[in-house]
């Protein structure tokens, strides 16, 4: 006989709830080598300008851009309805693009990967592990004098 569904013991996810940040340790922005990572919808035509602006803002804080990775959704074959959604809730990017970013980070020996968009706590943790360096959002990198790591 079919068992009745039991209550899930995990806390409910509320869409309006604030995103929690991962625990922080310190990496200096000034003098840090960073890889800039952007995720954009195919409808967003100014993605190159946004990446350039991020590089300028980080440069003004003393960071050095050593590479860029861009993931665009909806440029090639795919569902137009999904263009604004991330490829993965864990990594935001496709697995291949994460591997590409990890390879670039290792080749350039970057100190951090700065994502142009915001990241959830889970994305901070997963991307930091997969990239082998702190993964932070641009907003976090610019609002403090340190880059946050997990």
Q: pLDDT tens across 54-100, in order?
A: 999 999 999 999 999 998 877 665 555 555 555 666 777 888 889 99
Cβ atoms 131, 119 nearer than 8 A: no
Indicate whether 46 pLDDT > 60. yes
pLDDT for residue 93: 84
- pLDDT at position 143, please? 78
Asked if residue 108 has pLDDT above 90, the reply is yes
- H or E stretch including 83? none
Report yes or no on whether pTM surpasses 0.85: no
Judge whether residue 107 has pLDDT over 50.
yes
Spatial separation of the C-alpha atoms in residues 56 and 61, rounded to whole Å = 9
CA distance 38 to 40: 6
Q: Given the DSSP bridges, would you call strands 26-28 and 146-148 parallel, antiparallel or unpaired?
A: antiparallel
């Amino acid at each position: 006989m079919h068992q009745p569904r039991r209550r899930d013991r995990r806390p409910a996810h509320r869409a309006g709830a604030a995103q929690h940040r991962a625990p922080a340790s310190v990496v200096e922005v000034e003098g840090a080598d960073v890889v800039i990572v952007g995720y954009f919808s195919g409808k967003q035509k100014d993605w190159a300008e946004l990446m350039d602006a991020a590089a300028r803002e980080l440069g003004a804080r003393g960071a050095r851009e050593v590479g860029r990775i861009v993931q665009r959704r909806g440029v090639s074959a795919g569902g137009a309805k999904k263009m604004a959604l991330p490829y993965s809730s864990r990594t935001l990017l496709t697995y291949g693009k994460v591997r590409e970013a990890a390879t670039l980070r290792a080749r350039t020996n970057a100190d951090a990967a700065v994502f142009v968009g915001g990241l959830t706590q889970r994305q901070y943790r997963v991307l930091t592990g997969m990239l082998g360096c702190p993964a932070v959002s641009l907003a976090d990198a610019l609002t403090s004098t340190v880059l946050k790591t997990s």
